[in-house]
Amino acid sequence: MLRGVRGAITVEQNDREQILSRTAELLTELVNSNNIKTEDIGAVIFASTPDLPAAFPAAAARRIGWDSVPLFGTQEIDNPDGVPLCIRVLILLNTDAPQAAIQHAYLYGAARLRPDLATQE
């Protein structure tokens, strides 16, 4: 069965290292809270706000060893009601876990997007 595991995280500035380290932090949180094995990942979609051109967030997945996982990156539309300096991720996961068991993560300023699913502030 295919499930979507969602998450988002913010950074303080358009800085390559911060984008990559925060994205890795988000991925690690999602992996740990859902017991994700790399071989169960079908694909991962990354989206960043237009104010983050310094790095491709998907590069963080390669840094943590996701060499065989299909990755796709995109840029969100410039939305005046959106959360700035934000990176979102959608992991397409092959799992037998029921939808209700999936743990999503919204970290730092991204908690504004889904306060009901925020895991930390």
The binding site for prephenate consists of 6, 88, 106
Q: How far from chain centre, in Å, is Cα 54? A: 17
Q: Please give the order of strands across the beta sheet that includes 71-75.
A: 71-75, 41-48, 86-94, 2-10, 105-107
Residue ranges of the annotated binding site are 6, 88, 106
Considering Cα of 84, then 87, then 90, then 93, what sign does the dihedral take?
negative
* Separation CA 110–CA 69 (nearest Å): 25
